Amino acid sequence: MGDWKKAEEFFNKDKNALIDKLDVYGNTALHIAIGDPGNIMFVENLLEQINPKSLPSLVNDRQQNALHFAAILDNTIAAKKLVDKNPHLLFTVDNMKYLPIERAIYNSHKTTFVYLLQVCKQHIGLIQKEECYNPFDGERGVKLLDCTILAGFLGVAYDLLQDYPELARTKVPKPPLWCIAKKWDAYPSAKRYNFYQRFVYSHVPIENCGDVDHTCKIQDIENQETNTVGGTKKYIYQVPHIKHLQEDRVKHTITLMILKFICEEVARYAEEDFLYKLPKRLILGLVMLFMSVTTMMIAFSATLYIMFGQEKSWIMIPIATLTCLPIASFVTLQLPLLVDLISSTYGPGIFGKRSELRITS
């Protein structure tokens, strides 16, 4: 425990000591205080002395601000104090371009990570400021989701997917589908239960699990009724091996929910590719091909006229015929396809508009 009275006397004599680097790693007094979870009063007193606007620039040699340090050390209480003072800390990166929330998940600190996830969503509007990064956008967001899955925080990962479904279909080298498939220990097939364990596993209900609470969603996935249990239920499920099997079942079910959600998102994205992006590219390709054929034949005809037809006006007739023939044949063959593509993409088409399909289906 630090002696705040002595420290306060020292800081009153030298105000720069509040922001000076005090060790070989460039840590400030605030960094060092956060390193001791029992020293939270010292942290509070330091935050009262330091200008909140200066907190993002108060970094060590690794460009880690105080919130980075709290995330690395799993000091959730200090993290709350810092975010209350200046939420911009959530969206600033260190020398490796990592945000505090990323430092928390990379170290598998669930409590701090869940807290930072919650406040990042609350203060996401601050990313409009310069040098602030969105933890849920693009490849950074997918990496955050991947690490959440690999850390085993499956309930949190499912909630993250619900809030940001585009993460499931963002194209990256290792997408979430790869991560959930790699998480082999999260599937029932990874367990080798005996007869008794299989019996308990198949009958234990999935509610009242302390890890995550997705009861209604899980019941929808499994499409089955939960057996009613007598008044001793809450005591039975405190038996260690039954509680363990219950937690296993919840984990396995949430894994299947994540897998199902990702597959649905990827399939929907592939459908959009097929119905819209592919026809648009084909239309563009046909138009460009028509223009290239036309300009090529015009250039060819001009060359023939310059070489042979300047003194012979009659030669324009075969030249015009030769020019129009390939263009006409191309239009005759490809124009129906182009019209069909434009009609099916931008008009009702053969199968009706997409909105009509949804109404009738």
Residues 85-109: what's their mean pLDDT? 95
Residues 218, 206: contact at Cβ < 8 Å? Answer: yes
pLDDT of 319 higher than 80: no
pLDDT computed for residue 40 by the predictor:
87
Where helices occur in the chain by DSSP H, the ranges are 4-13, 29-34, 40-49, 66-73, 76-85, 100-106, 110-122, 138-150, 154-163, 176-182, 195-203, 215-222, 233-236, 240-272, 278-304, 316-346, 354-360
pLDDT computed for residue 356 by the predictor:
44
Residues 77, 116: contact at Cβ < 8 Å? Answer: no
pLDDT of 105 higher than 90: yes
**Would you place residue 223 in the very low, low, confident or very high pLDDT band (cuts 50, 70, 90)?**
very low
pLDDT computed for residue 353 by the predictor:
46
**Which of 1.25.40.20, 3.30.990.10, 3.40.50.11540, 3.40.228.10 is the CATH number of 4-135?**
1.25.40.20
Task: Give me the phi and psi of 104, to 5 degrees please.
Answer: -65, -45
Q: Where do you find CATH 1.25.40.20 in the chain? A: 4-135
Residues 5, 40: contact at Cβ < 8 Å? Answer: no
Question: pLDDT higher for 331 or 262?
Answer: 262
pTM: 0.69
pLDDT computed for residue 184 by the predictor:
82
126-150 confidence digits (pLDDT tens): 988 878 899 999 999 999 999 999 9
Distance between first and last Cα of the chain: 67
